[in-house]
Amino acid sequence: MMHHVGIYVSDMKRSSEFYETILPVLTKEKLIWEDKELLFLRGEGFQIELIPSSTINSAGTHIAFSVTSVTDQINALKQLGLTPTEGPYKLSNGWKTVFYDGPDGEEIEFIRTTESSMN
């Protein structure tokens, strides 16, 4: 079970607004850690920690979220003006996945692991 994913961001407000737009965030909580204000975005079954950073190297940051339909997720994000950076892909094990870039270059994956069709 995932507890949270930490993402170093250059602009806390911009990143918070981005994730609150594309994900079903239920609560936000600020926390001070070593003189930095962190922000936890919580949804059902996930938690994202946004961490301010003046020197970003987030290329290795990757978060994956389960969805009931990759096609529906692509269509919903298209309505928000977002297009995939990779995929969608159908993997040999039957999983379907698609990737998007976040505001600081972090990779966001939406995956359906039990689908039998290309939805």
- CATH number of the domain within which 24 lies: 3.10.180.10
Residue 117 tokens, joined? 């069709």
Q: Which helix (H) or strand (E) holds 8?
A: strand 5-9
**Model pTM score:** 0.68
Q: Tell me if 118 is assigned to some domain.
A: no
Q: Tell me if 57 is assigned to some domain.
A: yes
Q: Tell me if 24 is assigned to some domain.
A: yes
Domain that holds residue 88: 5-112
Contact 80, 108 (CB under 8 A): no
Q: Tell me if 102 is assigned to some domain.
A: yes
Count of the separate structural domains present in the chain: 1
Q: Tell me if 119 is assigned to some domain.
A: no
Buried b (16+ CB within 10 A) or exposed e, 64-94: bbebebbbebbeebeeeebebeebbeeeeee
Whether pLDDT at 76 is above 90 = yes
Q: Tell me if 33 is assigned to some domain.
A: yes
Provide mean pLDDT across the span 33-46.
Answer: 86
Q: Can you tell me the distance from the alpha carbon of 41 to that of 117, in angstroms, rounded to the nearest whole number?
A: 32
Confidence of residue 74 (pLDDT cuts 50, 70, 90): very high
Q: Tell me if 26 is assigned to some domain.
A: yes
